[in-house]
Structure 1
Amino acid sequence: MTPLGALEQAVLPALRRPPCLVSFSGGLDSSLVLAVALRVARREGLPHPVPVTWRFTGAPRADESRWQDRVVQALGIGDWQLLQADDDLDLVGPTAGRLLRRHGLRHPVNLHLHLPIVELATGGSMLTGAGGGQVLGGWRRARSGLFRVRLRRTAGHLRTVLRTRRSSPDMFPWLRPEVSAEIYRAFRADRRREPRRLDHRIAWHARRRDLGLTCASLADLGATRAVAVVNPLLDPGFLTVLTGPAGRRRCPPRDRLIAEIAAGVLPEVVTAPRPKARFLEVFLRGPTRRFVQRWDGSGVDEEIVDVAALRALWSRWPIPGGTAGLVQEVWLATTSDGAAGPPAPRPPERPEPHR
């Protein structure tokens, strides 16, 4: 079986449980999942999957609308659900507030963006591109045969290493020094352990705790609405085939790997390299800004967190993205009954499709 064939098998359970919605951002991973699911649905005579896409106001670095439009047009999709977000997806905004009140602090901190999609998929299924960034991405580029190119990359890598070492005490300035040092050592050790060979690297990522927590959180979120959440890029059968004969390769570029999976049968725009969007400004909006500005220093473990340092960091905007989970933890600890938090709106009704 080919990797594409294995991926087609991986999306089938979701397609057989309509309505099947696809969490579609326009990035490589979600575009690949959408294209494969639509291909299988058309071949098998199953109800077509419906992409659901967030569009953001005031977040230009997160704008992927051009790629979204191109992929949807190339695939000939008629039913496309667009959701609009202003402060809706803030770390402690309306959507996150509903999720945090019911589920508590979960990983990842942006899990709540899937909540409205799950509510639209009630009783059906949701396909995601979860895990693609880990098992398909993150590779260093293969070495070029040009000496000057290699020299330039080596110099750039050296500058990065020196800058990282020089700033290591300041990576987590909101933590107590001994805690920050311990986390930094673990971070460095983890980076050194990451394999370079394709089969070893994929296996290493597939068993990591962060991916396990992500999948568990998505599954729990789906269970609240009887939605089967399927993450085909983490399907064991797909990963086994993907790391078969070619598993000994080292550092295959992500775009090349995805193009090989597409096997020339999916539209080129699906696998074409594209700039990576930055979503921090989607989650750091008005509700978070107001919350950190009025924070009184309570709700944290002071043996771990340096309250004075954290207050100084949170007095400037935007706050560091590395404190996003801490924002949600403090919000939960200080607004346990939800009275001081944002209102909990009713679940969204299914919007009119964009055609």
Structure 2
Amino acid sequence: MALPGRETRGTPSPAEQPATVGVTRVDELELAAGWVFGRTPAPPVPRTGGARVVLEQVVRESLAVAPTFVGFSGGRDSSLVLAVAAHVARRDGLPLPVPLTLTFPGVEGADESEWQELVLDHLGLPDRVVVPVHDEMRLLGDLARSGLERRGLLFPAVAQADAVRLVHATGGHLLTGEGGDDVLNRRRGTPLHLLRRRLATPALPSRRLLAEAGRALRPVATLPRDRYLGVMPPWLRADAAREAARRLAADDASPLRWDRGVTRLLGSRATQVVLGNLAAVAREHDVTYVHPLLDPRFVGALAHDGGAWGYAGRTDVLRRLAGDLLPDPVLARTSKAWFNATRWGPEEREVARRWDGSGVDPELVDHDELRAAWASPVPPAAAELLLHAAWLGTRGA
């Protein structure tokens, strides 16, 4: 059920959608909000220490058994995985990993070529697969429509068109930097680490740092339960927005200790749904997805290394993991490419404009607000799965 005490309507229930092995469906509130809520039982997390050593072991398992590709965008996380894989392959006499890069010609904000060249020149890898993408990854392109008809709704929506890169890794392992945004990033207790480090010097801490440390120390139980209400999508009805905000707040009850905050990420239902659905699509192409930064062994080792206080932030973690493997400008960069615009074209706009309201529960979603979001220059990612639901609903699926 989407909201307590009411029946859901609109989108077909999981039992009514096409059967695809390994797929996890979202509920109607998650569809409406564009996010997955809740916790799942976390896998056992070894705490052995030596995060770099463990990361090398995880990557080596793929290099030793199958052709290994690395989904490489030029961002920090995929660069880390590629660099570690190249290092291990050369050290152990294994086949080198092959960077697999999607490019988006003419799409503003999606060009990472300079960063890609910097990393690849530094690593000296001889082979690379480059796939120019034009409209193949659009939300209602041929791949997505075919996938929707066969699989039904999948979160994330982009999984329907993942064949764009999967076909180039058939029979192999495809490593990604998935999870780096979470595992390697700042945690609730990071301001305390920074304050502790500042107090060990003659310099006084800034007011901003003191305020951040104070907020970190506030018990989670005392925080407003509706603190995320302001970030809910504008198309959510009031009751739906309150329930979604409540669920998000419950999920975000992060421990103060850095190590516990990191390992808690493995119990995220959103993470499990994304990885599981991507894996299900990959199996259709005889590809095994591997996400080293979300491997429980690596997460446990990183938590062991960081302990209660943790690190100063993402750049600090990356330098410790790969300071000898990558140029420092790559490890310290703060820019990030954006790919949302690559998923919207004339057909998606036309479907949104002509939509008759089918497939989306009006008790959860204000249809006029949703249309306005779809009509914006770059529609938010949270509205993508709703477009798929609308398309299926219009077709009577």
TM-score range, shorter chain: 0.7 to 0.9
1:72-117 CA-to-partner distances (Å, cap 9, x unmatched) read 1100012111111222222222333343333322222333453222
C-alpha distance 82-336 of structure 1, shift in aligned 2 (>3 A): farther
Q: What secondary structure does 2:337 align onto?
A: coil
Query: Does residue 44 in structure 1 map to residue 101 in structure 2?
Result: no
CA contact (8 A) 1:19 1:123 kept: yes
Query: Does residue 235 in structure 1 map to residue 295 in structure 2?
Result: yes
Residue 34 of structure 1: aligned partner = 82
C-alpha distance 332-239 of structure 1, shift in aligned 2 (>3 A): same
Q: What is the letter of the counterpart of residue 123 of structure 1? A: G
Q: CA shift at 1:135, angstroms?
A: 0.9
C-alpha distance 2-283 of structure 1, shift in aligned 2 (>3 A): same
Alignment partners' CA distance in 2, 1:131 and 1:167 = 22
CA contact (8 A) 1:87 1:286 kept: no
Q: What secondary structure does 2:174 align onto?
A: strand
CA contact (8 A) 1:14 1:125 kept: yes
Q: What is the letter of the counterpart of residue 294 of structure 1? A: R
CA contact (8 A) 2:228 2:245 kept: no
Residue 162 of structure 1: aligned partner = none
Query: Does residue 202 in structure 1 map to residue 262 in structure 2?
Result: yes
Alignment partners' CA distance in 2, 1:283 and 1:154 = 39
Q: What is the letter of the counterpart of residue 181 of structure 1? A: R
Alignment partners' CA distance in 2, 1:119 and 1:294 = 33
Q: What is the letter of the counterpart of residue 128 of structure 2? A: W
Q: CA shift at 1:31, angstroms?
A: 0.4
Q: What is the letter of the counterpart of residue 150 of structure 1? A: R
Alignment partners' CA distance in 1, 2:333 and 2:204 = 25
Q: What secondary structure does 2:57 align onto?
A: helix
Residue 318 of structure 2: aligned partner = 258
Residue 22 of structure 1: aligned partner = 70
Query: Does residue 65 in structure 1 map to residue 116 in structure 2?
Result: no
Residue 292 of structure 1: aligned partner = 352
1:213-239 CA-to-partner distances (Å, cap 9, x unmatched) read 122112212211222211111112212
CA contact (8 A) 1:90 1:284 kept: yes
Question: After superposition, where does 1:203-222 map in structure 2 within 5 Å?
Answer: 203-222=263-282
Work out the percentage of aligned pairs sharing the same amino acid.
36
Alignment partners' CA distance in 1, 2:326 and 2:374 = 46
Give the TM-score taking structure 1 as reference length: 0.82
Alignment partners' CA distance in 1, 2:92 and 2:286 = 24
Residue 171 of structure 1: aligned partner = 232
Question: After superposition, where does 1:40-189 map in structure 2 within 5 Å?
Answer: 40-112=88-160, 114-139=162-187, 142-143=194-195, 149-151=206-208, 154=211, 168=229, 171-189=232-250
Residue 305 of structure 1: aligned partner = 365
Q: CA shift at 1:166, angstroms?
A: 10
Q: What secondary structure does 1:243 align onto?
A: helix
Alignment partners' CA distance in 2, 1:44 and 1:225 = 29
CA contact (8 A) 2:102 2:132 kept: yes
Q: What secondary structure does 1:309 align onto?
A: helix
Q: CA shift at 1:53, angstroms?
A: 0.8
Give the TM-score taking structure 2 as reference length: 0.74
Q: What is the letter of the counterpart of residue 303 of structure 2? A: T
Query: Does residue 323 in structure 1 map to residue 376 in structure 2?
Result: no
CA contact (8 A) 1:26 1:67 kept: yes
Moved over 6 A (4+): none
Residue 60 of structure 2: aligned partner = 12
Q: What secondary structure does 1:106 align onto?
A: coil
Question: RMSD of the alignment, in Å?
Answer: 2.8
CA contact (8 A) 2:131 2:165 kept: no
Contiguous gaps of at least 5 residues in structure 1:
159-164, 338-355
Q: What is the letter of the counterpart of residue 246 of structure 1? A: G
Q: What secondary structure does 1:126 align onto?
A: strand
Query: Does residue 249 in structure 1 map to residue 297 in structure 2?
Result: no
Alignment partners' CA distance in 1, 2:396 and 2:264 = 37
CA contact (8 A) 2:175 2:289 kept: yes
Q: What is the letter of the counterpart of residue 42 of structure 1? A: R
CA contact (8 A) 2:143 2:161 kept: yes
C-alpha distance 226-87 of structure 1, shift in aligned 2 (>3 A): closer
Name which of structure 1's ranges 146-155 and 49-58 shifts more when overlaid on structure 2: 146-155
CA contact (8 A) 2:102 2:165 kept: no
